[in-house]
Amino acid sequence: MSETASPLNTLRQSIAAACHQASRDPETVTLLAVSKTRSADEVAALADQGQHHFGENYLQEALDKMDALAERGLVWHFIGPIQSNKTRDIAARFDWVHSVDRLKVARRLSEQRPQTLPPLQVCIQVNVDDEASKSGVPLEGVAELAKAIVDLPNLTLRGLMAIPRADSDDHNRAAFRQLAMTLSQLRNTMPALDTLSMGMSADFGVAIEEGATLVRLGTALFGPRPAR
């Protein structure tokens, strides 16, 4: 497949079109390739086309790919639920963590971040629909958690992440808008916050219209996910 006909190039064009629709600069939206369950060769193929940011949910699988692609200069994002016994490797190996939802985990990531590395870039995961099956801090707990995280020395709080309930565009738009409003409120006292990690393959256009700065795309890039 030629690069011009690749899913990556098509998605870049779709992101640019959504930004144009929203009167936004496409440079303000980062495409995060969700590469969980994908091979190092598949990641390398996207890297060859200029994709630098990759998101992983499963720690050991991610570490294996990082080792295989260590010379590529890729930016690795951890986007899955965080178990306390996994924080040391996450802190040492990733550049970003999107799924911080409790202070205990944030403290461990800060304490275990090697001093030789720059601060770990983190987002607070927000449970915008109060779903019992999903990770994330409730909306009413975001401000308190954010205030605590900004005081941790080896983390840089960048913004918020959410995975709305799979529903209609109208529902997701409302959820994205709520997350954007929550970030705007935080920025009154934390003006450096700049990241809204929201929108996936089925709804990234709506997310961009509502202010997403980072969209997490897997199926749209790689096709249906193989069974684990």
**What is the number of residues in the chain?**
228
pLDDT per position as a tens digit, 121-165: 999 999 998 888 788 999 999 999 999 999 999 999 999 999 988
- At residue 142, the pLDDT reads 98
pLDDT number for residue 127? 95
Identify the CATH class of 3-220. alpha beta
Instruction: Work out the percent of the chain whose per-residue pLDDT is above 90.
Output: 88
Whether pLDDT at 3 is above 60: no
- Please state the domain extents for the chain: 3-220
pLDDT band at residue 228 using 50, 70 and 90 as cut-offs: low
Quote the pLDDT of residue 30: 98
For every residue of the chain, DSSP letters joined together read --GGGSHHHHHHHHHHHHHHHTT--GGG-EEEEE-TT--HHHHHHHHHTT--EEEES-HHHHHHHHHHTGGG--EEEE-S---GGGHHHHHHH-SEEEEE-SHHHHHHHHHHS-TTSPPEEEEEEE-TT--TTS--B-GGGHHHHHHHHTT-TTEEEEEEEE---S--HHHHHHHHHHHHHHHHHHTTT-TT--EEE---TTTHHHHHHTT-SEEEESHHHH-SPPP-
**173-199 pLDDT per residue, tens:** 999 999 999 999 999 999 999 999 999
